Amino acid sequence: MSPNPSPEQNSTDFHAPRKPVLDGDTLEVLHNQHPERIRLSGIDCPEKGQAYGQKAKQAASALAFGKHVTVQTHGHDKYKRFLGDVILPDGTNLNQELAKQGWCASPFVTRILLEYIFIS
């Protein structure tokens, strides 16, 4: 998940989220004056009502709310939300930062944990 899109990625510039983050891995942004839901790809944060769901939402909000972001889209999910990586103005990949801070699961984090458990 590089902040720089590869040629096969469709990097689309979206404006700042117009509402608070919906949950830790879903946010809404304005694109051509229309709200678009973005599902952060490669991570899975707890949902509202689950343990740490509100904290994950607050972490995502603290990082992204009200900022001009770049969304590198990777298609749509079954709910017709854009799947993508969200790049913050300072170049930070929101998806990676949430995983790094421990607010969500990701294949990378899961692999590291399994290696630690079974190799240690």
CATH code for position 44: 2.40.50.90
Query: Among this protein's residues, is 28 annotated catalytic?
Result: no
> Is 1 part of a structural domain of the chain?
no
Query: Looking at the chain, how many residues does it have?
Result: 120
Torsion of CA 55, 46, 39, 3, to 10 degrees: 60
Residue 81 annotated among the catalytic residues of the structure: yes
Provide the residue range defining the domain that includes 96.
10-119
Question: Does some domain include residue 35?
Answer: yes
The answer to whether the beta carbons of residues 61 and 103 sit under 8 Å apart is no
- Supply angle C-alpha 63, 68, 73, rounded to 5: 90
Which one from 81, 97, 111, 115 is the annotated catalytic residue?
A: 81
Of 18, 37, 47, 97, which is the active-site residue?
47
Report pLDDT digits (tens) over 21-60. 889 999 998 888 888 999 999 999 998 889 999 999 999 9
| Positive or negative: CA dihedral 105, 100, 93, 27 | positive
What's this model's pTM, rounded to 2 decimal places?
A: 0.78
Instruction: Please tell me the total count of domains within the chain.
Output: 1
In a domain, 3, yes or no: no
